[in-house]
Amino acid sequence: MRIVFAGTPDFAVPCLRAAAQRGEVVAVYTQPDRPAGRGRELTPSPVKREALLRGIPVLQPENFRSAESKAALRALKPDLMVVVAYGLILPQSVLDIPAHGCWNVHASLLPRWRGAAPIQRAIEAGDAETGVCLMQMEKGLDTGPVLLSQVLPIGASDTGGQLHDRLAELGARVLADGLGLLRAGIRPVARPQPAEGVTYAHKLDKAEAKLDWARPAAELANRVRAFNPWPMAEAVVAGERLRLHGAVALDEAPAVAPGTLLRAGRDGLDVACGEGVLRIRVLQRDGGKAITAADYLNGRPDLRSA
């Protein structure tokens, strides 16, 4: 087969490796290099770095609106285009170019969590499981029929980063299964997504990271997990702004205002919420690194209550 791969972030790298195992990837599309770091130097995407290591030609158009960009793709004579977190909307005129169309690896059990941030939204919502779908792409946002899928449980302590890594590897395995079938002349059966159960995983916004103590503790604990490592939940505790790396909800009913620090000990900082109590176990001060609550209290002996 002649495969064209389109992807940009770390999540897409395992899928690129799976697609390129037999030397079938004839080109890689990825987002243009972007400024990054303190020096704001142009930095290639993780997918571009992997492609260059493998000697695969890289194309980085701003979009596919021009006739030239479509002609360049057509000239590659792709049998299949595999798209994983590419970051560009592909028009129907592009989806129609490969002989077998375009496949997308999506990190949710569609139709739940269509959109940009399915991993974090699943944790934030308290879902017990998620997974990966290999989907035949069509013009709508993650609306195409599902070819293959695999379920993955969400652990009670899973962070967004941990779940991201497990789903990236699972996505590569699901993609490899689909490619194996296609090589054998078996096209995976395309099953339309049900109309019921559609939810949208809207893009993460840094403003969401500021926790509102009036919300239930269970909801805030899920946000802390979901937003680790980015945008990282933050809150004011005892007059100091902290970034929260790890927290759990306690089933208590304190008779004080939300945001009140109830206890501060080696097990954590217990803060009253609209419902229940949030125990902060791992945190970060401005300009510091992530530390345990016990280490934090070494520098804040005024807060110790246990």
Binding-site residues for (6S)-5,6,7,8-tetrahydrofolate: 108-111
Distance CA 264, CA 272 (A): 12
Distance CA 175, CA 238 (A): 49
For residue 206, what are its two tokens? 């840094």
Distance CA 35, CA 98 (A): 32
Using an 8 Å Cβ cutoff, are 266 and 255 in contact?
A: no
Name 135's Cβ contacts closer than 8 Å, sequence gap at least 6. 103, 104, 105, 106, 110, 142, 144, 145, 146, 147
User: Side chain identity at 134, as an amino acid letter?
Assistant: L
Using an 8 Å Cβ cutoff, are 167 and 132 in contact?
A: yes
Binding residues: 108-111
